[in-house]
Structure 1
Amino acid sequence: MELIQEHTDLAAYLAADDAVDHGHPLVEETADALWSTTGDAYSYAKAAFEFVRDAIPHSADSGDDRVAWRASDVLGTRNGICYAKAHALTALLRARGIPAGLCYQLLGDDDGTNLVLHGLVALCLPGGEGWSRVDPRGNKPGVDAQFTLDRERLAFPVRPELGEIDYPGLYAAAHPATLKVLQESADRTQLWRNLPTGL
């Protein structure tokens, strides 16, 4: 899908903020460890994606009630929903100078009901051919997201006939609706009740 950039300056997609806090020691330490096993931007980006996808369970899968929203907290607790895991991957990519942004889909249950926002990541590798979306949500039966830049292998295909949407925006910072619900939810149960239903 064609991503619409919020900013034309790639510097915006390398910046740190409260949620994508890639200057935090834990983010830097994790990035250093991943870089030491790879050594080039593509291999590092793939390793960072697989680390966030596989080593940090989605809290809906693990049953963890804690709500993390900062990238450093996601790495520290090894826990988060899609938005939080997207913050963590974005921070790890930016920590090594790889422009990365946040993207969103509107997804529903199997029958298309209960539509809520889902968060994922787009990255732009040096020498690459533009932006590619990847989804670090975490795999499980029926979900097989992969690090592929030539064709998308996201966690969930969008079903427009059921009202699902692939939003084309590419955000340098977390969308306020997602950040608000993460910051204001005391636990995952409250978070689930208040998930945003659109942008």
Structure 2
Amino acid sequence: MSPVLSPTSNRWSDYLAADAAVDHAHPSIRERAEALRTLTDEPAGYAEAAFLFVRDEVEHVIDAADPRVTWRASDVLRERVGICHAKAHLLAALLRTQGIPAGFCYQELSALHGLNAVYLHGKWSRLDARGNRTGARGEFSLAEEKLAWPVDHTGGERDLPEIHPAPAPAVLDFLMTAEPGPGWYENGLPARI
């Protein structure tokens, strides 16, 4: 069962803002957004196109055994690789640059898993663009959630209901200080926000 989602800010502008990680004014983000916009005029159609681009065209570092560390949306786009948190930064940037409110959500699994929430059709919906290799099964849906990983409540895992306007500081600190190399994500990825 999906949690009842709860925005941590009551200002829409917070869910449209740019910051160091969600640098949606960057020319490459705007260029990619315009290319995706040519596929549809509908906000929900655009959101789906952006989701599919991030999920399918940007490799997850673990699946790809990629040693690079990315955290800024424009860097994730340029390198076409990122951990779940970095991919969430890119999806938020692509949505926000088109005026679609987007936030950040988390699941406490074996490590902290990052995903997005998007506000469309008068409600928030969570989207998980992690990538569908190695058993993950995230799909675009504004109705029933179709996240990459099920939460095992009996094993102590938790679905966090909060929608944050900015990435968790613990996540950013980890990504900004991680040293590139094989398995860089294995030591220090936060377990909690």
What TM-score comes out, normalization by structure 1 length?
0.93
Match of 2:188 in 1: 194
Could you tell me how far apart the structure 2 residues matched to 1:31 and 1:158 are? 32
Aligned to 1:113: none
Task: Pick from 35, 38, 44 the counterpart of residue 36 of structure 1.
Answer: 38
Question: 5 Å matches for 1:64-143?
Answer: 64-108=66-110, 116-125=111-120, 128-143=121-136
| Structure-2 residue corresponding to 1:2 | 4
> What are the Cα deviations for residues 28-69 of structure 1, in whole angstroms up to 9, with x where unaligned?
000000001111101100000000000001010011101000
Report the Cα offset of residue 191 of structure 1. Answer: 2.9
Instruction: Name the counterpart of 2:21.
Output: 19
Question: Deviation of residue 100 (structure 1)?
Answer: 0.1
Task: Give SS of 2:103's match.
Answer: strand
TM-score (structure 2 length as normaliser): 0.96
CA distance, structure 2, for counterparts of residue 11 and residue 36 of structure 1: 25
Contact kept? 2:22, 2:90, Cα under 8 Å: yes
Q: Secondary structure at 1:44's aligned position in 2?
A: helix
- For the pair 1:182 / 2:184, whether they are aligned, the reply is no
Deviation (angstroms), 1:151: 0.5
- Of the three residues 160, 167, 179, the one matched with 1:167 is 160
The offset of 1:70, in angstroms, is: 0.2
Q: For residues 129 and 69 of structure 2, what CA distance do their matches in structure 1 show?
A: 17
Percent identical: 48
3-state SS in 2 of match to 1:196? coil
Give the partner amino acid of 1:87: H
Consecutive unaligned residues of structure 1, counting only runs of 5 or more, are 109-115
Q: Is the 8 A contact 1:181 1:191 kept in 2?
A: no
Which residues of structure 2 form unaligned runs of 5+?
A: none
Alignment check: 8 A CA contact 1:105 1:166 kept: yes
**Hey, which bits of structure 1, 4+ residues long, moved more than 4 A?**
none
